[in-house]
């Protein structure tokens, strides 16, 4: 499922970019009128949601489509032609020659081959998508006929490699997706320097082979779900990169490979084998989201996150972290910190006391047996705190630092006694879970339970006590 989400994310992303940019040329579809249904059969025409689209499903031959469209459109441009589940063998020479198409999308069809001049005549084509059409190769010559092409997407095909001449003809290409192929080799110089987004996710790449460095215009780069081992020097010069997805590779070290990514805003590194950060993140002063979930971090160092002053979300879940060493001290904009599924035994307030914007703290599924508070007057704007499935016997004064707390989850710990004051420092609390704790039922505790219940707080897991609460 996760995998599919990534694929969709990439598809969406690369497409999402396009309409905006192509509107410059096609600034209005207002004059477009759909032909009558009968004139287009077997295709259909819609003008919603934004780009008028001719949709052809389940056809056997392109001739059928061409015949249907030619008589109506003549040389008028067709904004978007979508061909789905067609039973074509391939795309023959001059396959679309009588049509003037701006965007062409062929999906879930069988296209084994494409003639070198299949796209002849499509000088106005801006976007070409051949998605899940069992392509084994893409003839590079055909690109030189597509002199306006800015977006090329060939996701979920059977492409094995990319040679430096393959995209030579695509002089205006800005958006490229080769996601979901079987790429093992990419040659240096394969990608046009003007690329803005590039997706190579879900391939079989072990190395980027210095093919991406110095793509100075690149803003979004998707490399998730490959077999990348090492990035040394591979990302040099990517000074405009905003979004980088490296999830699900085999990275162990980052070293200095992020040093030029000074404009990066989102970085996804989940499901790798990173065990040490060192200075690798220090130049990422613009990063807002960082996902390091499911790596092999054990000890954080004081300076690991230095320089990340824009960071808002940090996900460190699913590592083996047992020591924090003040690593969060510079994250003044952090709003959400996820430390679930690690091996923390203690949590000291001083570890988070610099996080003056922290709103969500999740330390569930660790081995916490001790929470240590800081100086009594120190407060943080935490709204939700999750400490579930640890080994806490007491909360100490820890959660009294959080004066705007709304949600507290301390389920499945070893807590026997609740203290009303822990939950009265914040007047906003509306949910507490104490499920799975060995809470006792003496008269004093009954009183606490009733005090909480009377505050209109939803409480999960209070024990059913038989004794009557003391009367006031």
Ligand X SMILES: *[C@@H]1O[C@H](CO)[C@@H](O)[C@H](O)[C@H]1NC(C)=O
Give the residue, chosen from 22, 53, 109, 366, that forms a contact with ligand X under the rule CB under 6 A.
109
In 304-462, which ranges are continuous DSSP H helix?
A: 349-352, 443-453
Which span (108-116, 170-178, 438-446, 459-467) binds ligand X, by CB under 6 A?
A: 108-116
The residue at minimum Cβ distance from ligand X is 259
Which span (44-52, 180-188, 222-230, 420-428) binds ligand X, by CB under 6 A?
A: 180-188
Q: Which is nearer to ligand X, 305 or 423 (CB)?
A: 305
The secondary element (H helix, E strand) that includes residue 68 is helix 62-73
Q: Which is nearer to ligand X, 129 or 270 (CB)?
A: 270
Going by their DSSP bridges, the two strands 53-57 and 43-46 should be labelled as antiparallel
Token code pair at residue 7: 């694929």
At closest approach, how far in Å is the CB of 23 from ligand X? 13
Q: Which is nearer to ligand X, 84 or 465 (CB)?
A: 84
Question: What is the CA 128 to chain-centroid distance, rounded?
Answer: 24
* 283-312 residues near ligand X, rule: CB under 6 A: 283, 291, 293, 298-299, 301
357 near ligand X, rule: CB under 6 A:
yes
The secondary element (H helix, E strand) that includes residue 315 is strand 313-315
CA distance 178 to 131: 10
Unique residue bearing structure tokens 């295709």: 43
Give the residue, chosen from 44, 47, 64, 100, that forms a contact with ligand X under the rule CB under 6 A.
100
At closest approach, how far in Å is the CB of 331 from ligand X? 9
In 109-171, which ranges are continuous DSSP H helix?
A: 141-144
Unique residue bearing structure tokens 């062409």: 104
CB contact set of 430 (below 8 Å; sequence gap of 6+):
406, 407, 456, 457, 458
Q: Which is nearer to ligand X, 188 or 227 (CB)?
A: 188
Token code pair at residue 362: 């999740």
Give the residue, chosen from 70, 172, 188, 416, that forms a contact with ligand X under the rule CB under 6 A.
188
At closest approach, how far in Å is the CB of 194 from ligand X? 20
CA end-to-end span of the chain: 56
Give the residue, chosen from 44, 276, 286, 394, that forms a contact with ligand X under the rule CB under 6 A.
276
CA distance 111 to 427: 64
At closest approach, how far in Å is the CB of 83 from ligand X? 12
214 near ligand X, rule: CB under 6 A:
no
Q: How far is CA 42 from CA 5, 28, 33, 59, 61, in A?
A: 32, 27, 18, 8, 11
Q: What is the dihedral of CA 247, 251, 255, 260, to 10 degrees?
A: -40
At closest approach, how far in Å is the CB of 305 from ligand X? 12
379 near ligand X, rule: CB under 6 A:
no
Q: How far is CA 157 from CA 108, 338, 441, 456, in A?
A: 10, 37, 64, 57
282 near ligand X, rule: CB under 6 A:
yes
Query: Would you tell me which residues interact with ligand X (CB under 6 A)?
Result: 2, 75, 77, 100, 108-110, 124, 132, 185-188, 207, 209, 256, 259, 270, 276, 279, 282-283, 291, 293, 298-299, 301, 313, 315, 332-333, 356-357, 367, 391, 414
């Amino acid at each position: 499922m996760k995998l599919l989400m990534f694929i969709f994310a990439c598809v969406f992303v690369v497409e999402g970019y396009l309409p905006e940019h192509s509107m410059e040329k096609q600034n209005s579809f207002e004059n477009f009128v759909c032909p009558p249904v009968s004139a287009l059969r077997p295709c259909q025409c819609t003008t919603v949601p934004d780009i008028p689209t001719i949709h052809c499903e389940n056809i056997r031959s392109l001739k059928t489509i061409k015949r249907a469209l030619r008589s109506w459109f003549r040389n008028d441009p067709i904004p978007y032609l979508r061909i789905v589940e067609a039973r074509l063998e391939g795309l023959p020479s001059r396959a679309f020659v009588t049509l003037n198409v701006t965007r062409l999308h062929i999906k879930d069809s069988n296209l084994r081959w494409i003639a070198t001049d299949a796209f002849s005549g499509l000088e106005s084509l801006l976007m070409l998508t051949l998605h899940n059409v069992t392509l084994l190769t893409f003839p590079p010559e055909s690109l030189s006929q597509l002199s306006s092409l800015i977006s090329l997407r060939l996701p979920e095909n059977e492409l094995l490699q990319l040679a430096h001449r393959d995209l030579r003809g695509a002089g205006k290409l800005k958006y490229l997706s080769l996601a979901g192929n079987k790429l093992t080799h990419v040659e240096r110089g394969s990608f046009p320097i003007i690329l803005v987004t590039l997706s190579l996710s879900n391939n079989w790449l072990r190395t980027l082979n210095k093919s991406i460095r110095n793509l100075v215009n690149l803003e979004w780069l998707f490399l998730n779900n490959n077999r990348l081992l090492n990035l040394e020097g591979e990302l040099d010069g990517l000074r405009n990169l905003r979004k980088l997805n490296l999830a699900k590779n085999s990275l162990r070290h980052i070293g200095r490979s992020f040093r030029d990514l000074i404009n990066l805003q989102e970085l996804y590194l989940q499901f790798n084998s990173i065990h040490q950060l060192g200075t690798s993140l220090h130049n990422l002063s613009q990063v807002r989201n960082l996902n390091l979930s499911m790596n092999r971090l054990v000890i954080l160092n004081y300076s690991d996150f230095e320089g990340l002053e824009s960071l808002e979300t940090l996900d460190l879940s699913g590592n083996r972290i047992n020591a924090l060493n003040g690593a969060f001290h510079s994250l003044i904009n952090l709003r959400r910190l996820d430390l679930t599924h690690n091996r923390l035994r203690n949590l000291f307030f001083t570890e988070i006391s610099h996080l003056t914007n922290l709103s969500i703290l999740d330390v569930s599924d660790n081995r916490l047996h001790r929470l240590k508070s800081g100086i009594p007057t120190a407060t943080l704007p935490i709204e939700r705190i999750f400490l579930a499935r640890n080994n806490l016997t007491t909360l100490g004064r820890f959660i009294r630092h959080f004066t705007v707390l709304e949600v507290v989850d301390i389920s499945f710990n070893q807590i026997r006694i609740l203290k009303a004051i822990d939950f009265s420092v914040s007047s906003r609390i509306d949910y507490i879970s104490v499920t799975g704790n060995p809470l006792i039922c003496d008269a004093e505790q009954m009183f606490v339970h009733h005090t909480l219940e009377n505050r209109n707080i939803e409480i999960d897991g209070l024990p059913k006590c038989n004794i009557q609460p003391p009367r006031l």
